[in-house]
Amino acid sequence: MLVLSRKINQSIMIGDDIRIVIVAVDPYQVKLGIEAPRTVPVHRSEVYEEIRRTNQEALGAAPVATGKPERATLKPRTKPNR
Amino acid sequence: MEQEQITVDLPKFGPCTFEAGEVLDFPWGLPGFPDLHRWLPLNLDSHPTFVWLQSLDDTSVALPAVDPWMVFETYDPKLPPYAFTSLEIREATEFATLCVVVVTPNAEEMTINLMAPLIINLRTRKGRQIVLDGSAHSPREPMPRKMPASSKSA
């Protein structure tokens, strides 16, 4: 892993278009500012990890369904958004 | 133009024939399944409210999901801009939303992942699981009791 030292208000670039700024530091917490293109998702790792776990649980818990598999038709939400 | 018909033998469901144009493409995979890109949405008689997302890259993988508004009428996911841009969604009428369900033998323990809906562009058939980080939606919301009883047949 690459380890860099930064001070408050300093930043690092990841590629050409992602910038991470050190906004605040205290003994137990670092506050980061993230500038990324609108196409790039940014998540806290533990949130992503939780989604990964629930997906795998959904697979593990899935019962053997019976009946002939029919292709499902997906529809947009029919109710208008508020 | 005639669509190519494909038949696969699915470990969970048996033989299934579909057309190439029905396959969903998840270019980023799913969290936990980063390499599984091609998915086929299926319905089964035994679980009529579920859509099973059957992986075509690993046929042993099938995830049960539901239309979240069938169980939570007021569900209101605030999708981040990257959901629309990365999936090239132009209008609200052109995408479908599904939420993955953890099906348990005891129906009272079933949960639905409202924090990370599967968003599918119906025009391009491209999909992505969008993590609503920072939202109040739970990844393990208990399924309400009004869920159809058919799910108990498991």
**pLDDT score for B152:** 40
**pLDDT score for B151:** 43
Q: Is the ipTM of this complex over 0.90?
A: no
Closest CA to B151 of B76, B70, B77, B97: B70
CA distance, residue A72 to nearest chain B CA (Å): 5
What mean pLDDT is reported for chain A? 88
Domains along the sequence of chain B with CATH: 5-153 (2.30.290.10)
Give contacts of A39 with chain B, Cβ < 8 Å: 82, 85-86
Give contacts of B22 with chain A, Cβ < 8 Å: 71
Residue B142 to residues A61, B60, B111, B113: CA-CA distances in angstroms? 15, 26, 4, 9
Is the pLDDT reported for residue A39 higher than 90?
A: no
Q: Do B131 and A82 touch (CB under 8 A)?
A: no
Give contacts of B116 with chain A, Cβ < 8 Å: 51, 54
Q: What is the pTM of this model?
A: 0.86
A36 and A43 in contact (C-beta within 8 Å)? Answer: no
% of chain A at pLDDT higher than 90: 62
